[in-house]
Every structure is written in C-alpha cells, then in structure tokens.
Amino acid sequence: MLEKIAEWICRFIFLPHIARVERKIGYKLVFHDIPSRFINGIVPWDMTGIWRRFEIKVEAGVNYWTMGNVVKGMSSRYDRNAPEYQTWVGGYNVKLLPGNLWTPEDHANLAIADQNSWLKTYGDPHPTTSFAGEKYTAMGTIMNGKYSGQLYKAACISHSDVGQGHQRLVARLSHFVKAAFFNLSNKDLRIKAQMLVPKPINNPYETLKLHGYFAVFELGNNARIVLYANGAVVPNKDGDVDTLPIIEADLLQTLRSCEIVKVCPYIKYEA
C-alpha cells in the first residue's frame, strides 16, 4: 500500500516539481550507461532547501544519484564486505546566486551538506563529513558533449550511514520515496523500500575515508554541474580495504555516460 502511495506522490507531485527546478536552472542530467554493480536507475532529489539550511548560496539545485545494486535483498551500499559499500555516483545540478565566485572547495561544500543531511536522516547522532586536511588534485579537462569541465581527485572523512537510526519514521518513509523514484526512472526495476534499509552492524556510523572524483562544469548564467563518484577506505582488523581501485572503472563509466541536457528556462512573469 505504501509503495503505491509513494509512487503516486513521486509521479504526480515530486517529479513535476523536479522538472520545474530543472527549468529554473536551465539544465538537467541524464545517465545513459550505469554498470551492473549499481542500481540501473536514478533518484532525483530537490536539494535547494538542504543547501540553503547549510548556508550555501544557491538559487536552486537537484541531486541525481544511484547506489550499489541489490544483492540478496539489500543494496550493496550497506554491505561492509561489498566493493560498493558507502559508494556514491551521480551529479549535482546547481544554479548559484548571482555575484558568487566559487572555488573547488565551495563545490565540495555541496557534498558536505548533502552527506550530513543524509546521515542525519539515517539516524547518525553526530553527522560528520570533512575535507579538512585532504588534498584536491586537478586531473585536467573532462568533456561532456560540447561542455568542458575540470576533473579533480579528492577525499573526505565521513561516517557510514549504517546504524539503527533508519528505523526512525522519517527514514522509513524516505525508503519508500527512493524506491519509487528508482522504479519510475526504469520500468524494468522492482526496487522495494526494504532493499534500501541497512542491516545492523557492530560498529554503527563508523568513521571512514571516502575518496574518488568530482568534475565541475561552469555552464553560464550561474549554472553548474558537479559530477561525483567515490569509493571508500574501510577499516578492517587485518588492514584497511580500499574499494576505489575495484570499482574505479565502473564509476568513471557512469560519469562519462552522463549527459548534460539544456532545458527550456523557467520564466517568472511579473504581474
């Protein structure tokens, strides 16, 4: 019953709203080739309010993302033994407020706000994400159709989202919405809310390093696209496990498959 309600709300309320935000920005992202280790669908999420709450000066923003595919009834994002553990791949579609000159660190703040908000939803009592002390390495130019961007390698320290807090009402409801978005993005998917729920582990909300890539495209008229993809360095009693080398090719394939699409702008008419 909740699945049908969530799908109706996403189809007739949330997706039309996302389309309006995209028109306000003037662009959207379309992912054409998602490798099998990830769910072959995309969740679009309006980030405008979240970024503003973190005092980031944006006019509007949308986040498009996917996560580890479902294995034995659960997304591998939540499986500590899977290469996709705590992996993200997707992109931010952002319209900045006029008059702001952004550094690479400013673009990284989008991810800090996003991650901390996500951790809070999943019940982390002390959400933590920090790029402090980590280097940004410029990797050169990256092309997306006619658009040219700058590719970076970067890392941050963060908590995992695996703990008991997902049992909170807001988290439980969000699982149904995310599942509905995935299914609406790909009619062949049969994602259930329960597949997006982590199982308890002995070290909830553990601290680990996330590292990978982000690419910044300046599109004019204060619009930005920030593509991102990461693996994780997971603490282990026998030595840390770095998942990035295992999934790096698939992450980059997903980013290269992403198309920046110009859409008709939102026009505000004065009375």
Residue 64 and residue 93 in contact, taking contact as beta carbons nearer than 8 Å: yes
Q: Is the pLDDT of residue 271 over 50?
A: no
pLDDT-based confidence at residue 204 (cuts at 50, 70, 90): very high
Give tens-digit pLDDT for 16-30. Answer: 999 999 999 999 999
Q: What's the CA gap between 218 and 149, in Å, rounded?
A: 7
Q: In 3-state terms, what secondary structure has residue 221?
A: coil
Over residues 92-103, the pLDDT tens digits come to 999 999 988 888
206 in Cβ contact with 235 (< 8 Å): yes
How far out from the chain centre does Cα 162 lie?
A: 16
Calpha distance 130→191 (Å, rounded): 32
Which sequence spans correspond to the domains of the chain? 2-262
d(C-alpha 43, C-alpha 63), whole Å? 8
d(CA 125, CA 110): 21
What is the rounded distance in angstroms from the CA atom of residue 45 to the CA atom of residue 96? Answer: 17
Token pair, residue 268, equals: 């505000």
Percent of the chain with pLDDT over 90: 82
